[in-house]
């Protein structure tokens, strides 16, 4: 459609034409601005690229305005949200990929953190009302919070983007930050971990032939509550691997060998947990465990992996961006390959 014809159309008629509109030729700055405005009114997420002063209004109105850093005017740069420094449109593809990656990493961290919170709160509350006290002591909860807030943020926040992200539909404007898939994982894994911890709290003394922590609330560290704390931490460590996926993917180990930060944090946290349990003493309310007790704690924690796989098999309603798409990635893969070679920057013709 050409600009003069576009300008004559009333809004209602234009809205009917927009789904089929591919090219708007001979457009004035006001035509561009109106096009962006009408698309946003229809609920679309609009991105605009431009390099001239006449693009400034549309760049400013768009959800995301991208200006050319080399050939773009200062007015266009001021009106935009992102400046493409190399004037290369492949950079937009990379920015989309990284943007989706950052968003997914935030959701991974939230899924992991909420699971830990649910388990800790339920365990503390039920333990209190059943006169067993709080199985997790203050210093132990501080260590768990350090795992949950700092180390988990580093581990899950350093996942690098992959080309698979470009094969997914974009997130909608009204998409929930915590999806139904995440709620399934949080609630399912939370209940599983609570069941494991309650088994140790209430049946542990009989299973491992331990003196029971009961109504007297002993101040001396006991093997019983040390096993509760130790199993709780190992459940979180293995569930941190489950938290790497917040979508329909089943393989939580894909690409883990390339994320050295994630692996380093997992190994470092595991070593620190061993030292805390064996040598923490009164400060951490722990006592050393036997080999059988250690194997039991780590083994129970490792059950989070197969249970997480079973959880991912349970179907839940998918949001539009979570549904598989048949769109081809051939063009994006071609652009990505070309981006690895030296190219001349975009030039105005």
Q: In the prediction, which pLDDT does 346 show?
A: 42
CATH number at 92-322: 1.20.1110.10
**3-state DSSP call for residue 47?**
strand
CATH number at 31-87: 3.40.50.1000
- 345 pLDDT band, cuts 50/70/90, is very low
Instruction: Report the relative pairing of strands 64-68 and 47-50 from DSSP bridges.
Output: parallel
Task: Enumerate the domain spans of the chain.
Answer: 31-87, 92-322
* pLDDT above 90 (res 270): yes
Taking the C-alpha atoms of residue 17 and residue 29, their distance in angstroms, rounded to an integer, is: 19
Over range 292-302, report the average pLDDT. 96
* 227-265 pLDDT, tens digit each: 999 999 999 999 999 999 988 888 999 889 888 999 999
* pLDDT above 50 (res 222): yes
Instruction: Report the relative pairing of strands 82-84 and 47-50 from DSSP bridges.
Output: unpaired
With pLDDT > 70 as the criterion, what percentage of the chain qualifies?
Answer: 90
Over range 279-300, report the average pLDDT. 93
* pLDDT above 70 (res 342): no
State the pTM of this model.
Answer: 0.81
In contact, 246 and 181? CB cutoff 8 Å: yes
In contact, 203 and 116? CB cutoff 8 Å: no
* pLDDT above 80 (res 344): no
Q: In the prediction, which pLDDT does 328 show?
A: 42
Q: Check if 31-87 and 92-322 are the same fold.
A: no
* pLDDT above 50 (res 325): yes
Over range 122-147, report the average pLDDT. 84
* pLDDT above 70 (res 218): no
Q: In this structure, which long-range contacts are made by residues 126-132, counting pairs with CB atoms below 8 Å and at least 24 apart in sequence?
A: 126/198, 127/201, 131/214, 131/215, 132/201, 132/213, 132/214, 132/215
**Closest of 96, 8, 78 to residue 329, by C-alpha:** 96
Q: In the prediction, which pLDDT does 31 show?
A: 94
Length of the chain: 349
* 6-43 pLDDT, tens digit each: 999 999 999 999 999 999 999 999 999 999 999 999 98
Instruction: State the angle between helix axes of 304-313 and 291-302 in degrees (0 to 180), rounded to the nearest 10.
Output: 10
* pLDDT above 60 (res 215): no
Q: In the prediction, which pLDDT does 219 show?
A: 60
* pLDDT above 90 (res 188): yes
For all residues of the chain together, what is the average pLDDT?
Answer: 86
């Amino acid at each position: 459609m050409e600009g003069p014809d576009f300008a004559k159309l009333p809004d209602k008629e234009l809205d009917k034409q927009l789904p089929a509109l591919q090219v708007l030729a001979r457009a004035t700055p006001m035509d561009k601005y109106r096009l962006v405005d009408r698309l946003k009114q229809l609920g679309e997420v609009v991105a605009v690229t431009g390099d001239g002063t006449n693009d400034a209004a549309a760049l400013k109105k768009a959800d995301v305005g991208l200006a050319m850093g080399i050939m773009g005017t200062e007015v266009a740069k001021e009106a935009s949200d992102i400046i493409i420094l190399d004037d290369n449109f492949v950079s937009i593809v990379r920015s989309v990929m990284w943007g989706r990656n950052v968003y997914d990493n935030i959701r991974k961290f939230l899924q992991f953190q909420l699971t830990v919170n649910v388990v800790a709160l339920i365990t503390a509350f039920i333990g209190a009302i059943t006169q067993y006290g709080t199985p997790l002591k203050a210093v132990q909860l501080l260590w768990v919070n350090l795992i949950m807030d700092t180390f988990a943020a580093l581990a899950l926040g350093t996942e690098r983007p992959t080309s698979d992200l470009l094969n997914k539909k974009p997130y909608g404007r009204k998409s929930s930050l915590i999806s139904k898939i995440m709620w399934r994982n949080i609630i399912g894994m939370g209940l599983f971990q609570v069941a494991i911890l309650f088994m140790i709290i209430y049946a542990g003394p009989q299973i491992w032939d331990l003196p029971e922590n009961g109504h007297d609330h002993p101040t001396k560290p006991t093997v019983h509550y040390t096993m509760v704390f130790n199993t709780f931490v190992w459940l979180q460590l293995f569930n941190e691997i489950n938290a790497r996926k917040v979508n329909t993917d089943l393989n939580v180990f894909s690409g883990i060998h390339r994320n050295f930060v994630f692996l380093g944090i997992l190994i470092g946290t595991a070593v620190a947990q061993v030292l805390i349990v064996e040598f923490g003493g009164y400060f951490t309310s722990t006592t050393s465990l036997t080999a059988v007790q250690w194997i039991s704690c780590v083994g129970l924690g490792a059950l989070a992996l197969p249970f997480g796989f079973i959880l991912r098999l349970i179907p839940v309603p998918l949001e539009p961006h979570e549904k598989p798409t048949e769109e081809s990635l051939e063009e994006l893969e071609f652009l990505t390959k070309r981006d690895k070679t030296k190219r001349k920057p975009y030039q105005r013709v």
